[in-house]
């Protein structure tokens, strides 16, 4: 339910940013962040609330939210186009790798119903340390970019430094998945 809320808030945030209603967008972004924190807290502390669907929806909700935020913030001239391109390209490559790994780890006969059944888990992608850092830096950049027009610091050198840091962690994260490849994938046996 919380992941679906985050997915539903993503286009609302995109619309608010494109319409340059940054005050409300900042509040909606905080609400989306709260749903993510609450989702993780509940999953960690109440085992009965964990589900295969929830574990598939949570990262999907995060990717949808981040992608819409970066594209709309770029449209609003608050984040540079090459940085958004870099972030979305990395995410597309990761998603493609996940689809490939999913296909390779399914036992034969491979069927569409097995492939798209989130309850039939065959592999788990473990995020690298730099990937976790990258996610935090990307979210900090989104929050800072959303707040920039509200608090009148859109031309700040600190925001530009944050762009560079985000580009560096995004590239390092992409490289870490490429370099460590198989070490980040845990195949689940017995399926």
How do residues 102-152 score in pLDDT, each as one tens digit? Answer: 888 888 888 888 888 777 777 777 788 999 899 899 999 999 999 999 999
CA atoms 144, 150, 154, 157: torsion sign: negative
Q: How many CB atoms lie within 10 A of CB 145?
A: 22
Residues 6+ apart with CB under 8 A from 106: 114, 115, 120, 122
Residue 188: CB atoms within 10 A of its CB come to 11
pLDDT at 110: 85
**The domain made up of 1-187 is a member of CATH 1.20.1630:** no
Per-residue pLDDT reduced to its tens digit, 34-93: 998 888 888 788 877 777 667 778 888 888 999 999 999 999 999 999 999 999 999 999
Return the pLDDT at 95.
85
The pTM of this model reads: 0.86
- Note the pLDDT of residue 77: 96
pLDDT score for 88: 95
Spans of all domains in the chain: 1-187
Separation of alpha carbons 117 and 76, rounded Å: 38
Q: What is the number of alpha carbons within 13 Å of residue 123 lying toward its C-beta?
A: 21
Angle at 164 between CA 160 and CA 170, to 5 degrees: 140
Confidence of residue 191 (pLDDT cuts 50, 70, 90): very low
């Amino acid at each position: 339910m919380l992941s679906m809320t985050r997915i539903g808030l993503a286009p609302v945030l995109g619309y608010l940013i494109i319409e340059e209603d940054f005050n409300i967008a900042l509040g909606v972004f905080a609400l989306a962040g709260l749903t993510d924190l609450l989702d993780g807290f509940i999953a960690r502390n109440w085992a009965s609330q964990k589900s295969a669907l929830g574990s598939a929806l949570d990262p999907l909700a995060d990717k949808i939210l981040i992608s819409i935020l970066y594209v709309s913030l770029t449209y609003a001239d608050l984040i540079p186009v090459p940085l958004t391109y870099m972030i979305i390209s990395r995410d597309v490559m990761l998603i493609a790798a996940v689809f490939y790994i999913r296909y390779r780890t399914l036992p034969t006969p491979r069927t569409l119903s097995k492939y798209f059944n989130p309850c039939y888990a065959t592999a788990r992608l473990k995020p690298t340390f730099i990937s976790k850092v990258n996610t935090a830096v990307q979210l900090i950049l989104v929050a800072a970019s959303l707040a920039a027009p509200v608090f009148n610091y859109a031309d700040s050198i600190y925001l530009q430094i944050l762009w560079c840091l985000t580009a560096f962690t995004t590239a390092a994260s992409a490289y870490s998945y490429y370099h460590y490849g198989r070490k980040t994938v845990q195949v689940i046996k017995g399926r």
